[in-house]
Amino acid sequence: MKIKKRFTLYNIIMLMTPIILIGVVSVGFLLIFIMKYPVEELLVKRTALINPRIFAEAVGLFFQNNPGAIRIVFIWFAISAGILIFSTTIITMIMSRSIKKPIDNLHRAAEYIRRGNLDFEVLGSDYDEINALCSEFDNMRRDLKYARQLEHSLKSERSMLLANLSHDLKTPITSIKGYIEGIRDGVADSPEKVSRYLDVIYQKADTIENMVNNLSSYSRLELNREEFKFQTGELGKFLLAFCKKLETEFIDKDINLEYEFKDNEIPVRIDIDKMSRVFSNLVDNAVKYKKEGCLKLIIRTYPADGGVYAEVSDNGIGISPDEISKVFNSFYRIDESRSIKGSGLGLGIVKQIIEKHGGKIWLQSDGKKSGTTAVIFLPAAY
């Protein structure tokens, strides 16, 4: 209820309560009075009562002759005054309490927030205006709590990032050192062995270089330092050229690539280099996380929802539902795939690039061993 409406109601109650109570008391007193002092004792003819002067004289004479009646009138007056004072005090108290309670709540809430406690709820009020203020306050508390949780998770993500990075760099560096020592100490005692050792060293250095490149791209994207050169075109056309190149790469590999593009004449904004990176990372994952046997890879596009959808589906090892939302986090790798080379930054980079295109990306999978589909949505650029 609005403050104005409620205050008007309280005013009516404040007015009516004493009137009704005093009225009831007065009727009681009048009956006592009439029973004790019959009208005949007024010593005046009823018709004369119409004249105010005669009436006043008669009443004065009556009270002179009956001093006990003055006491009754006095008691009536005192009780009526008491009723008036009591009822207005009680109603004023109820009124002020109804306003004071939510204000006290807000005051307490501000105090909690000042002390850093955000685990409470700001209760509402019967007054619409105060209720709106309370819910605004509660929204602010919730936003603060969310910001704090975000800050906390960012902090732990940063620490995880550092821990993973140092671990992931340490592993190839340790093996590079091992192989160099092997050459130096003469363990690689034939030119073939030395060449094999050098190949492994090169491979490990390559892994480190990839990791550093990924990390650099990831942080440049996160810090908005990566420049985008957008051009407007059809995603299908871009992907057709991309798939043609893939086909040549997949010759002699146990990979079956299918593609179908139905997004004709819907232009989207594309940075060709960055978009190539997106699809390369997705295809790279499909290849890395394949099951035994032939990999079936399907890349397709179709128009819907005012834009274009692109899907990269594989029949690989799949992802369980509880992992699917985490794989976009930097350095996140599902435990079983830890043995497979990768920095865990690929999907993080993909997500950032797609978001910079104004789009969205998510993964779908029916769980372990049932394949994965990466779905990308790009809004049309009209």
Cα separation, 227 vs 353, whole angstroms:
11
C-beta of residue 309 within 8 angstroms of C-beta of residue 302 = yes
Q: Pick out residues in 300-359 that bind ligand ATP (CB under 6 A).
A: 314, 316-319, 327, 332-334, 337, 342-348
**Is residue 316 within the footprint of Mg ion (CB under 5 A)?**
no
**Is residue 346 within the footprint of Mg ion (CB under 5 A)?**
yes
Q: Which is nearer to Mg ion, 83 or 350 (CB)?
A: 350
Are β-strands 295-304 and 255-261 bridged in parallel, bridged antiparallel, or unpaired?
Answer: parallel
C-beta of residue 38 within 8 angstroms of C-beta of residue 66 = no
Closest distance to ligand ATP from the beta carbon of 329 (Å):
8
Closest distance to Mg ion from the beta carbon of 281 (Å):
5
**Is residue 318 within the footprint of Mg ion (CB under 5 A)?**
no
Q: Which is nearer to ligand ATP, 346 or 359 (CB)?
A: 346
Closest distance to ligand ATP from the beta carbon of 215 (Å):
9
Closest distance to ligand ATP from the beta carbon of 140 (Å):
36
3-class SS letters over the chain: CCHHHHHHHHHHHHHHHHHHHHHHHHHHHHHHHHHHCCHHHHCCCHHHHHCHHHHHHHHHHHHHHCHHHHHHHHHHHHHHHHHHHHHHHHHHHHHHHHHHHHHHHHHHHHHHHHHCCCCCCCCCCCCHHHHHHHHHHHHHHHHHHHHHHHHHHHHHHHHHHHHHHHHHHHHHHHHHHHHHHHHHCCCCCCHHHHHHHHHHHHHHHHHHHHHHHHHHHHHHHHCCCCCCCCEEEEHHHHHHHHHHHHHHHHCCCCEEEEEEECCCCCEEEECHHHHHHHHHHHHHHHHHCCCCCCEEEEEEEEEECCEEEEEEEECCCCCCHHHHCCCCCCCCCCHHHHHCCCCCCHHHHHHHHHHHCCCEEEEECCCCCCCEEEEEEEECCC
Please provide the distance, in angstroms rounded to a whole number, between the alpha carbons at the two ends of the chain. Answer: 48
Cα separation, 42 vs 49, whole angstroms:
10
- Enter the tokens of residue 111: 């105090």
Site for Mg ion (CB under 5 A): which residue of 125, 207, 214, 285?
285
Q: Which does 343 bind (CB under 5 to 8 A by kind): ligand ATP, Mg ion, none?
A: ligand ATP
Closest distance to ligand ATP from the beta carbon of 173 (Å):
18
Closest distance to Mg ion from the beta carbon of 120 (Å):
43
**Is residue 285 within the footprint of ligand ATP (CB under 6 A)?**
yes
Closest distance to Mg ion from the beta carbon of 153 (Å):
22
Nearest residue to ligand ATP, using CB? 346
Closest distance to ligand ATP from the beta carbon of 307 (Å):
23
Q: Which does 337 bind (CB under 5 to 8 A by kind): ligand ATP, Mg ion, none?
A: ligand ATP
Q: Which is nearer to ligand ATP, 211 or 243 (CB)?
A: 211
Q: Which is nearer to ligand ATP, 125 or 214 (CB)?
A: 214
Q: Which is nearer to Mg ion, 143 or 336 (CB)?
A: 336
Q: Pick out residues in 49-108 that bind ligand ATP (CB under 6 A).
A: none
- Enter the tokens of residue 371: 């394949």
Q: Which is nearer to ligand ATP, 102 or 348 (CB)?
A: 348
Q: Which is nearer to ligand ATP, 266 or 347 (CB)?
A: 347
With CB under 6 A, what is the number of residues at the site for ligand ATP? 24
For Mg ion, which stretch binds (CB under 5 A), given 71-79, 144-152, 193-201, 277-285?
A: 277-285
Residues that bind ligand ATP (CB under 6 A): 214, 281, 285-286, 288-289, 314, 316-319, 327, 332-334, 337, 342-348, 372
Residues that bind Mg ion (CB under 5 A): 285, 346
